[in-house]
Amino acid sequence: MTAPGVDYVATILEVAARDASIARVLREICALDDAVRGTALELVGAHLRTQAAPPDVIACVHALRREEVARAIAARLGPPG
């Protein structure tokens, strides 16, 4: 579910750089194993849909389910503190 020309890693890291609380949550999410991360993000996505979150936010949540996206973000943000 990748939109053409969208770099989810860069977008997510840009948001994390602006908000330390988002960066902390991303560190925790990206440190989870693939199955646990997928389940957690499914719950987050369901909540965001009930809140009528913008499609780009939902797309970023879906991108976090991909192992390569999570690894790239974890590498940049570092381990959970």
Question: Model pTM?
Answer: 0.83
CA–CA distance, 16 with 24 (Å, rounded to integer): 8
Task: Return the pLDDT at 40.
Answer: 95
Identify the burial level of 48 via C-beta atoms within 10 angstroms of its C-beta, where 0-12 means exposed, 13-18 middle and 19 or more buried: middle
Q: What is the pLDDT of residues 37-77, one digit of tens each?
A: 999 999 999 999 999 999 999 999 999 999 999 999 999 99
Q: What is the pLDDT of residues 2-47, one digit of tens each?
A: 554 568 899 999 999 999 999 999 999 999 999 999 999 999 999 9
C-alpha 67, offset from chain centre: 11
